[in-house]
Amino acid sequence: MMKISLVLAGGFGTRLWPLSRMEYPKQFAKVISDESTYQQSLRRSELLADKTLVVTSDIYKFQALGQAREIGLPLDEEDIVLEPERKDTAPAIYYGLKYAVERWGLDDALIMVFPSDHMIMNESEFFRAMKVSLDAASRGYISLVSVPPSKPEPGFGYVKIGEPLREGVYKVERFVEKPSKTMAEEMMREGGWFWSTMIMTFKLSTFLDIIERVLPGVVEPFKRYSDVKEAYRNVQKIDISSGMLSKIPSNLAIVPTENLGWSDLGSFEAIYELLDKDNMGNALSGRVKMSNSEGNLILSKRLVALVDVRDMIIVDDEDAILVMPRGHGQNLKGLIESMLKEKLPEALRHRVVYEQWGLTESLLRGDGYEVRRIKVHPGKGFGPRRHYHKSIYWGILSGTATIRVNGDEKVLTKGDGVQIPVGTIYELVNPGRIPLEIIEIATGEYLGEDDIDESGF
């Protein structure tokens, strides 16, 4: 039976600012390694599934494709399922399955659902759990990979373990989504409860039969409207846990794990809990030097030096730095909201922006100038376009560029450069077989992203 994975990558938010931004949510952020959790999810999917589909928002399409290309995985545009609106996980999963059925003409398949914004540190335990989970799914259960709760957290789904089905997998007595703090404390005292990681495995036919019965508000609009946008305008906004899983415990199986190293990365405090600590209780990622400092979380791409610092969170993402006491993460939301109202670029956009043709990375920005690295994929390009407030100098770092400036075409290679004055119409293509890399120096009184004219040429 074909195995298909749905990688859910439509999440939205800035709880991990400055690592995540409004247009660069946490699944694409490279939090504690050189790969994002989205890229790690793709790698696992590549090992487990015959086919991979990524379900995401249309505004993240090129991030999803670009980050797959970065790690050398063959993800095509047809493998990206674009949601026109965010309506939570139940519509996202159902739409992904509907797309798979129509694309491959499926009668049935084994489906794996991977949230792409969660961290998993113990890969061997993950693959052990998935082997058991796939077996349970083949027997008609919706199988849930779960972890022991570490505290009475009301924000998760709780699964009560029941009788064993076979080695490593059990029936589910109850599923409770986001209990109250008091109820979560009672569950901790009672024992036998696990957190759902939202990693699910099931037979396509099993899931479709249940969701059509339990969540008609999700299914019917897709049957009524052939246009996806119209279906999404009418679909019920609901998560799969409260809308479906909590109502069908007899159809669920639980695969408990030990030391999975799982976190939903909901806050910097969650990251601190996840990471290993030194003998002074510091959790570190990046270059850090310390003297007499303890209980800190430090995430940085540059050297950070601490003297007599205790219980602080310090996050440096090169163009923005966050400093706050541990345990005060709930106060970050209000600050980010105020920065978004001011439309600060550091709150909206990340330094790295993925495009259809490649990516740009902001390296240095000051009053009246910005330096960026531009990467253009083979056979790709952009333009014609022009700017009304800035002039540009391009220097070729590697690869070959065909550049047309006011109709004058040039072929440039490593070491060559070209000046593009204000108001000049230009376009660029990478005609080669390797990526084209350019250093761009832009100068002008206004350097906003909206100073670009691509019409009327």
Extract the tokens encoding 380. Answer: 């790709």
Q: Of 111, 141, 136, which Cα lies nearest the Cα of 251?
A: 141
Give the C-alpha separation, 456 to 157, whole Å: 53
Give the C-alpha separation, 170 to 163, whole Å: 6
Q: Which residues of 360-374 are buried (b: 16+ CB within 10 A; e: fewer)?
A: bebeebeeeebebbb
How large is the C-alpha radius of gyration of the chain?
Answer: 24
**pLDDT value of residue 33:** 86
Extract the tokens encoding 203. Answer: 């037979």
Give the C-alpha separation, 213 to 219, whole Å: 9
Helix or strand holding residue 162 (H, E): strand 157-166
**pLDDT value of residue 429:** 98
Residue 358 Ramachandran class (φ > 0 left, ψ -120 to 50 alpha, else beta): left
**pLDDT value of residue 13:** 74
Extract the tokens encoding 366. Answer: 């000051």
**pLDDT value of residue 313:** 97
Domains and CATH numbers, the chain: 3-263 (3.90.550.10), 277-339 (no CATH), 355-444 (2.60.120.10)
Judged on CB neighbours under 10 Å (0-12, 13-18, 19+), 164 is: exposed
Reading the chain (457 residues) residue by residue, the pLDDT tens digits are 999 999 999 987 778 999 999 889 999 999 888 899 999 999 999 999 999 999 999 899 999 999 999 999 989 999 999 999 999 999 999 999 999 999 999 999 999 999 999 999 999 999 999 999 999 999 999 999 999 999 999 989 999 999 999 999 999 999 999 999 999 999 999 999 999 999 999 999 999 999 999 999 999 999 999 999 999 999 999 999 999 999 999 999 999 999 999 999 989 999 999 999 999 999 999 999 999 999 999 999 899 999 999 999 999 999 999 999 999 988 898 999 999 999 898 898 899 999 999 999 999 999 999 999 999 999 999 999 999 999 999 999 999 999 999 989 999 999 999 999 999 999 999 999 999 999 999 999 999 888 999 986 6
Helix or strand holding residue 324 (H, E): strand 321-325
